[in-house]
Amino acid sequence: MHWEAWVAIGTWFLAFATWALAGITYMLVRRTQRDAQEQIAAIREAAKAQVEAAEQAAQKQVSVAERMAQAHIDTLREDLKARLLLHYETRWDSDDMVNHRTLLAKYLEANPRTTREAIQDDVPNFFESVGVLLRRGHLDLEMVSHTFGYYAMRYGQALGAFMVEDQRVHDDPQLWTGFLYLFDALRIFDAETLKRARPNFSREELVRFFHEETRVDLYSNPTR
């Protein structure tokens, strides 16, 4: 075979080998790219999962911290409500307030129809303050009911006409709204708790109550 033929054959084989090597190289490069992309995707998913897990853990920590903080705030709020109620209970049983209760009860016992000028404001003002604090959420209704419900509902019924007349005379519908709110809230609470109609005391019941109040100074100070 002529040498030129051998050169042609060699050239053809060299070209074929080059083409084959290029193909193999291309396939290797493509496979490497796919592997790299798969690795990058796996790393990205792992990183995303780690970030999500970290975020969830952080949210749980924040949620736990918020719940703990809220529980602490609620505890403090209930403690303040109890302390405030104790302060008013102490005032209610003080010698000065007992004297005012006695004078008012004596008047209400003797006078079924009250006159605005004859009513001293000390006892109504006390319940006005309690009612305002209750309406603003600074006192607990159940605790107020247990402590002052017996007194506030009876004084509220006896002084209802006085409060309405006082609003009219002063042309001020905001007068005694705290006491009236307290009176209504306690009546509703009593009715719902005991599953009965809202209390409406007879004159005889009120007289017995006023008689008890006129003697409360003796019970508080037996040496008098």
Query: Counting Cβ atoms within 10 Å, is residue 208 exposed (0-12), middle (13-18) or buried (19+)?
Result: middle
pLDDT at 224 over 60: no
Q: What is the pLDDT of residues 191-215, one digit of tens each?
A: 999 888 889 999 999 999 999 999 8
| pTM given for the model | 0.68
| Residue-range domain boundaries for the chain | 1-80, 93-220
pLDDT at 1 over 50: yes
Nearest to residue 188, comparing CAs of 163, 212, 156? Answer: 156
Q: 106 with 120: CB under 8 angstroms?
A: no
Tell which wins on pLDDT, 31 or 17.
31
Query: Counting Cβ atoms within 10 Å, is residue 7 exposed (0-12), middle (13-18) or buried (19+)?
Result: exposed
pLDDT at 223 over 50: no
Q: What is the mean pLDDT of residues 42-48?
A: 79
**Range from 34-43, 53-62, 84-93, 190-199 that averages highest in pLDDT:** 84-93
| 47: Cα separation from own chain's centroid | 40
